[in-house]
Amino acid sequence: METTKTLKMFIAGEWVDSQSGEFNVTSPVDGKVIYKVPRGTREDAKRAIDAAYEAKEEARRMPVYERAKLLHRVAQIISSRREELARQLSIEQGKPYATEALPEIDETAENFRIAAEDIKRLDGRIMPSRDPQKLILISYEPYGVFSVITPWNYPFLIPSEYIAPALAAGNTVVFKPSSYVVGSAAMLVECIQSAGFPPGFVNLVFSDGDFTGREEVGDELVTNSKVAGVGLTGHSSTGEIVSKRARMKKLLLECGGLGPLIVLDDSDLGRAAYAAALSSFSNAGQVCCAAERVIVHERVYEQFVERLVSEAKKWKLGNPLEEGVMVGPMNNEPTASKVDEHIKDGLNKGAKVLLGGKRAEGFPTRLYYEPTVVVDVTRDMLFNQDETFGPVAPVMMGSSDSEILEIANSTIYGLQAAVFTRDIGRAFRFSRELKAGQVLINESTLYWEPQEPFGGIGGKKSGVGRLGGVYTIYEMSNIKTVVIHTITNSP
């Protein structure tokens, strides 16, 4: 049994309370209160921003090898606390300990290692000038203060995707996690603090905004004039609000997806069905690049569906700390209610549930959702319009490559897409025509490596900019152009 822990915020190198009381965070696993959390206010956010602003010159001047050494130390500390962090992650977020929480902690440590190495090799350019007596130098400089605002589905990994490169690039950070996963955020900041970063380099503020619908702390992080850039992962609707509120700040936004996983009639159906289940049920489907729509060629529709149902039955639902459990509880009630709503809407419009379709009985909370396969999904259903964000594989049918492409591209999202085919020509055509930031061929929609650029395609609502490896360092750096006239004496 877990005891309730009282958390503090981290501002200017000190663990501090808020002036305005506390809120509670419960575990989705058993519904018990696990954290009492200072309810951060706009004033707390301002204090944290002031601390980051005061530290920004020191951060800018810190030699890159010193930054790299500290980032490597963070990675070592995370790895040395691996099991403890992963267990807490399972309890707070709900993901299975062995198959998802431990790998998330490992990837988090890896993000700090990658940032440490990338910054040592961040070379600029010397460009030829029209005038042979001039040199044009292009280099990278930190922005100053970066706000980092993150969701609840990857409480360690997503913050690390911003914080590690921000520090590597010489920025300082004010970090506001989702209200649902404050414990993970505090542990991550503990690891960063104990590596020895000076006060003000990383600051942590909490908010109960996800419970109340009033996000004052986040709004301060987006609008305060001392903040130079905002990195936010969240809903597309949040991304849109933040884009407006941030005005001229640098923005790095990672938002929603409706990842089609496409199964063409020449594909290996066993491989495709395995990947579709993995893409729909990992992290109980609460993933931006989940297979929110599985679009199948009509010639193989029946055979594929049969295989998908048998794959789906292997995904054991239960307590995420128990061995063999592959799907834990969903993280929170609003997200689970949205799944109910999408299933109800689909059934009303003619979809059929072949497996699951409801919350499971006999668990300590109502957040355990049965892995679900829904077929005969059509374009007018919510499944095809908005993220379901639960352990659901909604299957649609297409009668030709062009119709499948048209369905795939028909939404506001454009994050990640997968195509199963044995025909290299078709693979290239789909990868060119799909409106997505990343296209996977014969792989799950979840496939991702930390050094690659990840993000939404331009012109849609999945975000702006790229997260991943050195690409984030570039996003979090100003380009400085210096023109030098090499003749210093009068002619």
Among 28, 94, 218, 371, binds ligand NAD (CB under 6 A): 218
- C-alpha 375: how far from chain center: 28
Q: Let me know: does 6 contact 164? Beta carbons within 8 Å.
A: no
Among 41, 93, 108, 153, binds ligand NAD (CB under 6 A): 153
Among 40, 94, 151, 469, binds ligand NAD (CB under 6 A): 151
Q: Per the residue annotation, which of 191, 255, 288, 289 is the catalytic one?
A: 288
Of 457, 388, 66, 46, which is closest to residue 222 (Cα–Cα)? Answer: 46
For 5, 79, 92, 387, the CA distances from 85, given in Å and listed in that order, are 15, 9, 10, 29
Q: Per the residue annotation, which of 254, 292, 311, 370 is the catalytic one?
A: 254
d(CA 208, CA 217): 9
Number of chain positions touching ligand NAD (CB under 6 A)? 29
Show contacts with ligand NAD in window 381-410 (CB under 6 A). 387
d(CA 166, CA 178): 19
Tracing tokens 């206010």 back to the chain, one arrives at 41
Residue 288: active-site member: yes
Q: Does residue 171 bind ligand NAD (CB under 6 A)?
A: no
Q: Does residue 252 bind ligand NAD (CB under 6 A)?
A: no
* Min CB(413)–ligand NAD separation in Å: 9
Q: Does residue 328 bind ligand NAD (CB under 6 A)?
A: no
Cβ-based neighbours of 153, under 8 Å, separated by 6 or more:
93, 283, 286, 287, 288, 331
* Min CB(52)–ligand NAD separation in Å: 16
Q: Does residue 241 bind ligand NAD (CB under 6 A)?
A: yes
Q: In the sheet where 172-176 sits, what is the strand order?
A: 14-16, 9-11, 202-204, 172-176, 145-149, 229-233, 250-254, 463-464
DSSP string computed for 211-245: HHS--HHHHHHHH-TT--EEEEES-HHHHHHHHHH
Among 53, 146, 152, 156, binds ligand NAD (CB under 6 A): 152
Q: Which stretch binds ligand NAD (CB under 6 A): 44-52, 252-260, 291-299, 337-345?
A: 252-260
Q: Does residue 233 bind ligand NAD (CB under 6 A)?
A: yes
* Min CB(228)–ligand NAD separation in Å: 16
Residue 254: active-site member: yes
Q: Sign of dihedral through CA atoms 453, 413, 368, 306? A: negative
* Min CB(241)–ligand NAD separation in Å: 5
Among 255, 273, 308, 396, binds ligand NAD (CB under 6 A): 255
Tracing tokens 């497996």 back to the chain, one arrives at 355
* Min CB(352)–ligand NAD separation in Å: 26
Q: Does residue 260 bind ligand NAD (CB under 6 A)?
A: no
Q: Let me know: does 383 contact 377? Beta carbons within 8 Å.
A: yes
* Min CB(476)–ligand NAD separation in Å: 16
d(CA 244, CA 443): 36
Residue window 451-490: x/- pattern of binding to ligand NAD, with contact defined by CB under 6 A: ------------x---------------------------
Q: Does residue 149 bind ligand NAD (CB under 6 A)?
A: yes
Residue 201: phi, psi to the nearest 5? -65, -40
Q: Does residue 283 bind ligand NAD (CB under 6 A)?
A: no
Q: Which stretch binds ligand NAD (CB under 6 A): 100-108, 248-256, 270-278, 423-431?
A: 248-256
Q: Which stretch binds ligand NAD (CB under 6 A): 213-221, 295-303, 321-329, 343-351?
A: 213-221
Q: Which residue type is seen at 460?
A: K
Q: Let me know: does 140 contact 223? Beta carbons within 8 Å.
A: no
Residue 174: phi, psi to the nearest 5? -120, 120
Name which of 170 and 231 has its Cβ closer to ligand NAD.
231
Residue window 190-209: x/- pattern of binding to ligand NAD, with contact defined by CB under 6 A: -------------------x
* Min CB(171)–ligand NAD separation in Å: 19
Name which of 90 and 462 has its Cβ closer to ligand NAD.
462
Q: Which stretch binds ligand NAD (CB under 6 A): 18-26, 113-121, 143-151, 341-349?
A: 143-151
Of 248, 254, 253, 295, which is closest to residue 393 (Cα–Cα)? Answer: 295
Q: Does residue 331 bind ligand NAD (CB under 6 A)?
A: no
Q: Sign of dihedral through CA atoms 189, 100, 473, 457? A: negative
Q: Let me know: does 155 contact 93? Beta carbons within 8 Å.
A: yes
Name which of 13 and 453 has its Cβ closer to ligand NAD.
453
> Nearest-5° angle of CA 469, CA 474, CA 476?
100
**Catalytic residues, which ones?**
254, 288
Residues in touch with ligand NAD (CB under 6 A)? 149-153, 158, 176, 178, 209-210, 215, 218-219, 222, 232-235, 238, 241-242, 254-257, 288, 387, 415, 463
